[in-house]
Amino acid sequence: MVAHPGATSAIGKARMKRVAGVTRLSPQIPCRLCGGRDARISFQRDGYSVLQCSECGLVYLDHTIHPEGLRNFYSADYFQGVSKQGYHDYWALQASLTATARVRLRQMTRFCSPGRLLEVGCAMGFFLRAAQQVGWEVQGVELSDHAAEVVRKQFKLPVMTGCLEDAHFPGESFDAVAMWDVIEHVPEPVSLVRQVVRVLRPGGLVALSTGDVTSLLARLSGPRWHLYNLPQHLSFFSPATIRRLASVGLRVKQLGHDSAMYTFEYLAYRLKIVYPNRLTSWLFQAAGKARAGRWGVWINLGDIMTVFALKERV
């Protein structure tokens, strides 16, 4: 998400205080999970402040997003290597992302049979296409005009451009809702989950993935954790806070840290972004030129959660 012109650190605008030797402040915006107004500073980087809520423990970016800026952020540049917050070549990840999608679809069958599936934040539609191939009736919602158009042209699948709230789907009209690597991007995650619950039938499935800020890798990496993409990512969840988010109408049935497939070129690109230096730049260039750069490899760093939850029956 694009920073506002003239954006400054939250510390310059917020009321700071010392409590038991810990620096805390009243943030510019309330906690995205519980609405709390008391937080401690986790770290500051690139003019942004990442805070931890003193009430619920959510780690989040103290930055407000303009709706139009949010939409503009996910332009074609985001998917084609122009923006360092995005992807070098998203379309080139089709094979590896499809392989991950098939694993996730098999996991979903533990909780429900194929029916009507909505994917929120479907990007270029690789998961939707894989789901359709195993019997799901699919529908996508995607904020990016560019990505949504790719889905419609390449796969002929139904995708609504915009937010879930904009779609006005009838209540209880889907058997499952998927949100892969989406919830961390959302300015109001509680509102989104409530919308998901509204369109989901009783007993329906929600499947999502997001980073685990309490994982060993996140703690060892500190501000250099590869999922601290600022200001693209707004919330950084833990098992406890993701369960709290789900509690607005869902019951978590399974929470794990699963493998996913990535190409060598993508891994080299992310390494270059997180640790920019001559060596990582050379590795990325070498991966881009080598045939092996497009090969996929299964990786589990233990820092991404996969969550399956069911809508509570009244």
For residue 254 the two structure tokens come to 């399974």
In the chain, list all ranges with CATH 3.40.50.150: 67-262+295-311
40-to-11, 17, 109, 175 alpha-carbon distances in Å: 11, 10, 41, 40
Q: How far apart are the first and last CA of the chain?
A: 37
pLDDT-derived band at 22, boundaries 50, 70, 90: very low
Q: Would you say 116 and 107 are in contact if contact means Cβ atoms under 8 Å apart?
A: no
Amino acid found at 98: T
pLDDT above 70 covers a percentage of the chain that reads 90
For the cut 50, the answer to whether the pLDDT of residue 220 exceeds it is: yes
For the cut 90, the answer to whether the pLDDT of residue 65 exceeds it is: no
What's the distance, CA 119 to chain centroid?
13
Helix (H, G, I), strand (E, B), or coil: what is residue 114? Answer: coil
Distance CA 214, CA 181 (A): 17
Which of 15-29, 170-184, 232-246 is least confident?
15-29
Structural fold of domain 67-262+295-311 = Rossmann fold (3.40.50)
Residue linked to tokens 């805390």: 24
Give pLDDT tens digits for 265-307.
Answer: 988 888 888 888 999 899 888 888 888 888 899 999 999 999 9
Q: Would you say 81 and 144 are in contact if contact means Cβ atoms under 8 Å apart?
A: no
Q: Would you say 209 and 307 are in contact if contact means Cβ atoms under 8 Å apart?
A: yes
